[in-house]
Chain A
């Protein structure tokens, strides 16, 4: 490229020079210190990217070491993170607020499904209905805010070592509503609701376990006895978070959720074990009733809740869900 200084007005030329020099200084300032050791260099290159991008920059793990979960969960601060100035703090608050609104929209089906369940089962006194709904809205807000904060922390370089436990929106909403129902329903009505709620959890547990065992069965040709033993074994060690296994239907056949070995391996034959061990197991994250949107009968609930402002897109361009998916799947942002 030829620099045609003679054709530029003197003022524009001076400005060009100023910009070029400023650019030069900025480039030099943003470089890592010369004394940084070799390990710090790749980190410096990715320090401003969200966790997923950093994960992408790491070398690939051993092919047969497919589990995404790591045993220790410990929060660490990014050593390179600088103190947050007041302006930046305000910007962060704004970003968290924007993310919160987006997560609220995202998680709303969980609340709607739960309200629909309550509506189906409980004859809540008319005057109490808005109170119960408000409790549900508050717990939705709480779940969304928690998620937004974790998201923001990740982007600032404060990240959890090991498995990240994202808040389970359905659990937040359920717990918020249960508390409110306990206060606002007659004891026998609340007991009936609790019972139905437990039966629903049992149905979800059964569905999740059978889906997983059916997939294993297809590949490993289990005998009926093996199937029964594995079902029993998983049911005995069941954890609430495993409801996310219900998402198995969305994953291709080559994937399994991160089922602890002890529930399956002891029941397999020596021929089945190598396939089980080489099978890719992934963390499905959290599950909630994302599929479809239950219709919330506003009239029955005593009017629609106050409408929130339309969420702004958080700074950085990523929506929260995209960012979490990138984080979970290790996919880089496409610019």
Chain B
């Protein structure tokens, strides 16, 4: 019995020694992995919020740089198209800087709140919820229709300047909407094969008879399907043969079912009452 106990103790000691040997500092990644495994502590890393909000940009500093450069391009375009006075330029710049400041204040506020609860696993979800609207804003741009900048533009420009600016904005929106429609029709062909003539008719119908989304983004295909489903049957049906029309039922249904989501998320306006 005593001998067996001795053997067991030796075995346990060797096993412990082997663990230490495996975790020797010269072992690079192995060592890091084996020493990290027992650590159960949870922590939201300091740069996590930056990674969430400034995804694909690099970080807060790079994000700020990109926003400032984009603002400059936007102001230059306005100045060029509308021949802005210095006073108008200053007013618009001030409004845009107000939007930028508000955005980065919100980023800092989220970071401060996360700092307090960074060791709380349950708080990670809440942190994500807070960061998500900011990430969305970073993605879609800071100077959208609810921004201070967008509200100041019509009050700053003369009617002639406004008309010129609107025409540029609409041209850009229409260009992008045509691209979205083309891509959506290509995508739709995964379900309903089309001849070129049909494809072209469908694209023109969508571009001419439906409106671009309020905001472009990852839901563009759903927006086009929703617009497609809203077209009057008498305009849509003649493009397709009977078999295609039957196959189109499913995507049309999908488009209709997206309405609530698209309206609530601000991609499209609500149905006219």
- Using a CB–CB cutoff of 8 Å, the interface residues on chain A facing chain B are 3, 5-6, 10, 13-14, 16-17, 20-21, 23-24, 27-28, 31, 38, 41-42, 44-46, 57, 63-64, 109, 113, 116-117, 119-121, 196, 199-200, 203-204, 206-208, 210-211, 213-215, 217-221, 224, 227, 246, 248-255, 271-272, 274-275, 278, 280, 289-295
A44 to B30, CA, bound (A): 9
A253 and B217 contacting across the interface, CB-CB below 8 Å: yes
Q: Would B187 and A20 count as touching, CB distance under 8 A?
A: no
Q: Which residues of A contact B73 (CB under 8 A)?
A: 220-221, 271-272, 275
Tell yes or no: B175 within 8 A of A by CB: yes
Chain A residues near B199 (CB, 8 Å)? 199-200, 203
Q: Which residues of A contact B27 (CB under 8 A)?
A: 31, 41, 45
Tell me if B216 is interfacial: C-beta within 8 Å of chain A: yes
Residues on A with C-beta less than 8 A from B72 are: 271
Flag if B172 contacts A217 (CB, 8 Å). Answer: yes
B119 touches A (CB below 8 Å): no
Contact B139 A252 (CB under 8 A): yes
B22 CB–A CB distance under 8 Å: yes
CB atoms of B8 and A5 under 8 A apart: yes
Q: How many residues of B contact A (CB 8 A)?
A: 70
Partner of A210, one of B9, B175, B188, B251: B175
Contact A45 to B193, CB < 8 A, known contacts A207-B182, A252-B139 = no
Chain B residues lying within 8 Å of A31, measured Cβ to Cβ, are 22, 27, 30
A-B CB contact pairs (8 Å), 24 listed: A3-B8, A5-B4, A13-B4, A63-B59, A113-B193, A196-B196, A203-B199, A210-B183, A214-B216, A217-B176, A220-B73, A221-B70, A248-B183, A252-B217, A252-B218, A254-B57, A254-B139, A255-B56, A280-B58, A290-B190, A291-B190, A291-B191, A293-B191, A295-B247
The chain B residue sitting closest to A10, CB to CB, is: B4
The 7 closest A-B CB pairs, nearest first, are A45-B29, A289-B190, A254-B56, A210-B179, A41-B28, A207-B182, A199-B196
For residue B74, which residues in chain A have a CB less than 8 angstroms away from its CB?
221
Q: Which residues of A contact B175 (CB under 8 A)?
A: 210, 214, 217, 227
Chain A residues near B9 (CB, 8 Å)? Answer: 3, 5
Task: Tell me the B39-71 residues at the A interface (CB within 8 Å).
Answer: 55-59, 62, 65-66, 69-70
Which residue among B30, B73, B189 has the maximum number of chain A CB atoms within 10 Å of its CB?
A: B189
Asked whether, in the complex, the Cβ of B62 is within 8 Å of the Cβ of A278, the reply is: yes
Interchain CA distance A217-B96 in the complex, whole Å: 20
Measured CB to CB, the closest approach of chain B to A24, in angstroms, equals 5
Q: Are A210 and B178 in contact (CB under 8 A)?
A: yes
Interface residues of B in 147-202 (CB under 8 A from A): 171-172, 175-176, 178-180, 182-183, 185-196, 199
- A274 and B218 contacting across the interface, CB-CB below 8 Å: no
Q: Is the CB of A275 within 8 A of B66?
A: yes
**What residue in chain A is nearest B33 (Cβ atoms)?**
A45
Query: If A31-B22, A210-B175 touch, does A294 touch B193 (CB 8 Å cutoff)?
Result: yes
Minimum CB–CB distance from A12 to chain B (whole Å) comes to 11
A218-B216 contact given A120-B193, A294-B191, CB 8 Å threshold: yes
Decide: A203 near B186, CB < 8 A? Known: A42-B28, A249-B218: yes
Q: Is the CB of B244 within 8 A of A246?
A: no
Chain B residues positioned under 8 Å from A10 (CB to CB): 4
Asked if residues A224 and B171 are in contact (CB atoms below 8 Å), the reply is yes
Measured CA separation A42–B4 after assembly (Å): 40
Residue B1 CB within 8 A of the other chain? yes
- Is there an interface contact between B76 and A271, defined as CB atoms closer than 8 Å? yes
Interface residues of B in 1-28 (CB under 8 A from A): 1, 4-5, 7-9, 11-12, 14-15, 18-19, 21-22, 26-28
* Chain B, range 180-234, C-beta contacts under 8 Å to A: 180, 182-183, 185-196, 199, 216-218, 220-221
Q: A274-B69, A275-B70 are in contact. Are A211 and B8 (CB under 8 A)?
A: no
Give the chain B neighbours of A289 by CB distance below 8 A.
187, 189-190
In the bound complex, what is the Cα–Cα distance between A289 and B186 (angstroms)?
A: 8
Query: Is the CB–CB distance between B193 and A117 below 8 Å?
Result: yes
A177 CB to closest chain B CB (Å) equals 13
User: Which of B12, B183, B195, B221 has the most chain A CB atoms inside 10 A of its CB?
Assistant: B183
Q: Which residues of B contact A217 (CB under 8 A)?
A: 172, 175-176
Q: A42-B29, A217-B175, A271-B72 are in contact. Are A207 and B12 (CB under 8 A)?
A: no
Q: Is the pair B196, A291 in contact by a Cβ cutoff of 8 Å?
A: no
| Chain A residues, Cβ within 8 Å of B59 | 63
B52 CB to closest chain A CB (Å) equals 12
**Residue from A17, A42, A278, A292 in contact with B7 in the complex, judged by beta carbons closer than 8 Å:** A17
User: Contact: B193 with A278, CB < 8 Å?
Assistant: no
Cα distance A278–B33 when bound, in Å?
A: 34
Indicate if the CB atoms of B196 and A23 lie closer than 8 Å. Answer: no
What CA separation (Å) do A219 and B8 show in the bound complex? Answer: 69
Chain B residues whose C-beta falls within 8 Å of the C-beta of A224 in the assembled complex: 171
Task: Tell me, in angstroms, the Cα distance from A255 to B55 when the chains sit together.
Answer: 9
Contact (Cβ within 8 A) B178 A27: no
A46 CA to B30 CA, complexed, in Å: 9
- A207 in contact with B183 given A3-B12, A271-B76, A280-B57 (CB within 8 Å): yes
CA distance A204 to B184 in the complex (A): 10
Which A residues are in CB contact (< 8 Å) with B183? 207-208, 210-211, 246, 248-249
